[in-house]
Amino acid sequence: MSLLIKNGKVYQNGILVKKNIFIENEKIRKITSLDLKADKVINAKGKIVLPGLIDCHVHMREPGMTHKEDFFTGSMAAAAGGVTTFLDMPNNLPPTVTVQALEEKRKLAKKSIVNYGFHFGSTINNIQEIKNAKNIASVKIYMDYTTGDLKIDDFDVLKRIFSSAKIASVHAENENVLNAINLIKEAKNGIYICHISSKEELHYARKSKIKNVYVETTPHHLFLTAEALNEMGAFAEMKPHLKTKKDKEALWEGIYNNKIDTIATDHAPHLKEEKMEINYPYGVPGLETMLPLLLNAINDKKLTLKKLVGLCCENPARIFKIKNKGFIKEGFDADLAIIDMELEKEVENDRLMTKCRWSPFDGWRLKGWPIASIVNGNAVFEHGKAHNIRAREVSYNV
């Protein structure tokens, strides 16, 4: 099977070039001015072709909570949002903290229509499992309470886990960000700090001069503040919580100053009914809205395309050493997002592909949308529809 994406403006080395992309056997074969013959042609005239987004932080809920999401529905949401690869979190039922649980999850993820990788969970006594786990993006450490039961308080245990992982992803809030950095200092390994949400957390994350500290923030912390709680209540509740306008501005500042490395969704779907209970769960879905929110910010001159590609494609690939992804390059995997910067429409709950079918951004009018997603050379999202073509697990450069 070959595919030619014609007449688009292709993002390459920081600029847009008018080129055709010839894809064969799942790879980008040629980026060319020639009009090569292919089995299928997509005319991308007037559109921009980006590397497919890599979302480093999603909760697909499988196994154990498939009433909220599963790998098929979640991956359709990803495809609709220009996300061609995601890294799944381990707070499932059962949690992904043993090699056996990881292998089970690998089987379940086969129904994903975008590419995927896995973060492996940590407990007070699973160091051996961590060492035996193959082909994982990182070891996830929970230092604060959230969905699941994986919080670890004991600093000695944490220190041991940090030194067992080449790269640890951590859910740490407030001063725990500083604690996490201090723990990794001795371990000298990499640390990926998930969902930085405030000025204070960003300051803690960037205070030390040690290398290998990577910082993630989320669309909800960039576009919403705690004021949203007045209107949306539990539907705007996640961990870490939404903060003030000043915090939100500090995060944007962090993007301009390169203090933030990635934007990831923390896609954490829960059903509407669950959100309406007294003991509602934390988390919001985000796979379908991240790219349109960011493209709209580009149209508003708040962001550049170069930043977006750095934050959502190139840096995720670099930080987690994901093989052959994140860039539009000959020989790389044919994972692409085709976007229309002029298309303007509303986010609508009823049109979402996530199983939970709601978004904190419902009703937001956004300009700039993905119109097609190519995964391993297949158009898995096109003309508003997702197609059931199975994708694969990523590998990492070691």
Catalytic residue ranges: 266
- Can residue 221 be called a binding residue for ligand DOR (CB under 6 A)? no
Among 62, 266, 288, 335, binds Zn ion (CB under 5 A): 266
- CB atoms < 10 A from the CB of 38, how many? 19
* Interface with ligand DOR in residues 75-104 (CB under 6 A): 91
The token duo for 292 is 């349109």
Among 54, 170, 238, 374, binds ligand DOR (CB under 6 A): 238
In the beta sheet, which residues pair with residue 396? 322
* Interface with Zn ion in residues 164-183 (CB under 5 A): 171
Nearer to ligand DOR, 38 or 222 (CB): 222
Helix (H) or strand (E) holding 193: strand 190-193
Q: Which stretch binds ligand DOR (CB under 6 A): 73-81, 110-118, 155-163, 279-287?
A: 279-287
CB of 313 to ligand DOR, least distance (A): 23
What whole-number distance in Å separates Cα of residue 45 and Cα of residue 305? 18
The token duo for 187 is 């371990």
Q: Look up residue 231 and give its amino acid.
A: E
The one of ligand DOR, Zn ion, none whose footprint includes residue 117, by CB under 5 to 8 A per kind, is none
- DSSP, collapsed to helix, strand or coil, labels residue 98 as coil
The one of Zn ion, ligand DOR, none whose footprint includes residue 96, by CB under 5 to 8 A per kind, is none
Burial class (CB in 10 A: 0-12, 13-18, 19+), 12: middle
CB of 110 to Zn ion, least distance (A): 23
Nearer to ligand DOR, 173 or 333 (CB): 173
CB of 309 to Zn ion, least distance (A): 23
Fill in the DSSP letter of residue 375.
E
**Distance from chain centroid for Cα 386:** 19
Nearer to ligand DOR, 267 or 307 (CB): 267
The token duo for 185 is 């200092």
Check if the beta carbon of residue 75 is closer than 8 Å to that of residue 53: no
Verify cis geometry, omega within 30 degrees of 0, for the bond prior to 292.
no
Minimal CA–CA distance to 261: which of 302, 220, 202? 202
Q: Mask of contacts with ligand DOR, 247-276, x by CB under 6 A? A: ---------------------x--------
Minimal CA–CA distance to 334: which of 288, 386, 287, 374? 374
CB of 35 to Zn ion, least distance (A): 45
- Can residue 68 be called a binding residue for ligand DOR (CB under 6 A)? no
Nearer to Zn ion, 47 or 119 (CB): 119
CB of 172 to ligand DOR, least distance (A): 10
* Interface with ligand DOR in residues 122-181 (CB under 6 A): 146-147, 171
- Can residue 283 be called a binding residue for ligand DOR (CB under 6 A)? yes
The token duo for 300 is 């508003």
What whole-number distance in Å separates Cα of residue 85 and Cα of residue 79? 9
Phi first, then psi: give them for residue 3, nearest 5 degrees. -140, 135
The one of ligand DOR, Zn ion, none whose footprint includes residue 129, by CB under 5 to 8 A per kind, is none
User: How many residues touch Zn ion (CB under 5 A)?
Assistant: 2
Nearer to ligand DOR, 97 or 295 (CB): 97
Strand bridging mode 48-51 / 336-346? antiparallel
CB of 262 to ligand DOR, least distance (A): 16
Sign of CA pseudo-dihedral 146, 149, 151, 153: positive
**Distance from chain centroid for Cα 378:** 20
CB of 281 to ligand DOR, least distance (A): 6
The one of ligand DOR, Zn ion, none whose footprint includes residue 282, by CB under 5 to 8 A per kind, is ligand DOR
Binding site for ligand DOR (CB under 6 A): 59, 91, 146-147, 171, 238-239, 268, 281-283
Binding site for Zn ion (CB under 5 A): 171, 266
